[in-house]
A = this chain, B = another copy of it.
Amino acid sequence: MTSENTPEASGRPLFSLQRRERLMDELRAHGSITVSGIAAKFGVSELTIRRDVNQLADEGLVSRVHGGATLPSPLDRSASGSHQQAHTYSIGMVVPSLDYYWPQVISGARAEAEEQNLRILVRGSAYDAADNRKQVQALLDHQNIDGLIVAPDMTGAEGQELLRWLNALPIPVVLAERRSPGEIPAHRLEWVATDHAFGAGVAVRHLWQEGHRKIGCLTDSSSPTSPHVVRGWKQAMAALKIPLEGSVSEDSAGLGNGDRSEHFDRILELCRDTGTTAMLVHSDTQAVAFVQHCVDHGVDVPGSMSIVGYDDEVAYLAEPAISAVRPPKRYVGRVAVQLMAARLAEGRMRPVHRVELNPELVVRDSSVGGPRNVTAGSLQGSAAQDSQELEGSL
């Protein structure tokens, strides 16, 4: 699924306006695009993309270059004499991945930066503290940044030391999708993060409302998100009075492809033994694989096994399409830039802000119409109540 042309799987091709919007997203996420790459990705001809790019260029939203387009650059003389004032500040941004999850965060950040008239410099990094620090240092040394948005690795002593170092930087720092401990060594760090525990809770309650009374959880503890998902799952289970012992809770950290298949088999077996009819699966990538595995082994989804994924990157591609909790990635980037802009404008008098955002649940086929009929009669009242309460978040 990497370089293969993956024409947008959903039925109808995109409208031109949507296509241009997505094109801008890609542009903001990666800084530049190629005509051929986008054409393949969107499943349309290159000519169409060229026309889009030209239109966007006429509106001054992109800079045309041979073979593709970039974000509007001051070097682009075709900039229609627009009174673009000089960038007030430059913000560095260091994220741990440029292919998964983060492009949308970057896209949101760039969109907000444009409104605030800021410049953003993005660098990818590995998922470890040492490289985080190296990338930040590079921005500090070679670019002239006035602020830093970063999603550092916070695990272990090295992570703590990195936090301490970030806290002591002479420029303002905003963490994205990370929470600094609200204590002294990191008290100057502002942050914006998704409340993944809430998201997991919404997913569990949705499954409960669909009639499931045994709800399992599969996560990958090598992701920084995982602990929060597990916490939210446990909290929701407690609130719904589902006992934790006897519930399926599995971790697939560090499994290869072969192991994974075995692991899925074991999970299905566990589910059978415990009567578990629904699973919350962290990382929708893994959810897609799990659904695939179920379908391949004759387990009906959602009939025998309902599934909600966590993260909504590729969930819609699966067959059946997977319900997924969608973190507000774009807003994470937006808010990070808002915090930074306000900090740069207002200085030290402004109190440290810390922002949590709620994700939303996107309901697709993999989680509706499960075992509801079995228990519908006796649970009608409770389900109706839950439905009303949940309404607003869907």
Contacts and interface: CB of A to CB of B under 8 A. Distances in A.
A156 to B, nearest CB: 19
B66 A20 contact: no
Interface stretch (A70-78, A83-91, A138-146): A70-78
Interface of A: 12, 14-18, 20-21, 24, 31-32, 34, 37, 56, 59, 61, 63, 65-68, 70, 73, 75-77, 167, 182-185, 187-188, 195, 197-198, 201-202, 205, 235, 239, 328, 331, 335, 348, 350-360, 386, 389-390, 392-393
Contacts of A77: 59
Nearest to A17: B65
B16 A32 contact: no
A358 B75 contact: no
Contact of A354 (B16, B356, B389): B356
B353 A355 contact: yes
Contact of A195 (B67, B182, B198, B359): B182
A184 B197 contact: no
A239 B183 CA distance: 9
A143 B352 CA distance: 35
A193 to B, nearest CB: 10
What 8 A-B pairs come out closest when comparing CB atoms?
A328-B351, A352-B358, A15-B65, A354-B356, A351-B357, A188-B392, A17-B65, A182-B198
A14 B187 CA distance: 33
Nearest to A332: B351
Most buried by B among A32, A59, A356: A356
Contacts of A356: 182, 353-356
A159 B12 CA distance: 49
Contacts of A61: 75
Given A70-B18, A75-B24, A201 B188 contact: no
Q: State the majority secondary structure of interface residues on A.
A: mixed
B185 A197 contact: no
28 contacts: A16-B65, A16-B66, A17-B70, A17-B73, A17-B75, A17-B76, A18-B32, A18-B70, A24-B75, A182-B201, A183-B201, A184-B390, A185-B389, A187-B198, A187-B202, A187-B389, A187-B393, A195-B354, A331-B351, A335-B353, A351-B358, A351-B359, A352-B393, A353-B357, A354-B355, A354-B357, A355-B356, A356-B356
A173 to B, nearest CB: 11
A182 B197 contact: yes
B24 A12 contact: no
A185 B198 CA distance: 12
Given A18-B32, A353-B355, 11 more contacts: A12-B34, A14-B32, A15-B66, A17-B63, A182-B201, A187-B358, A188-B393, A331-B350, A352-B357, A352-B393, A354-B358
A340 to B, nearest CB: 15
Contacts of A386: 184
Contacts of A34: 12
Contacts of A21: 73, 75
Given A15-B65, A198-B187, A355 B357 contact: no
Contacts of A24: 75
A193 B372 CA distance: 40
A205 B182 contact: no
A56 to B, nearest CB: 8
A348 B63 CA distance: 33
Contacts of A63: 17
Contacts of A20: 75
A389 B184 contact: yes
Contacts of A15: 32, 65-68, 70
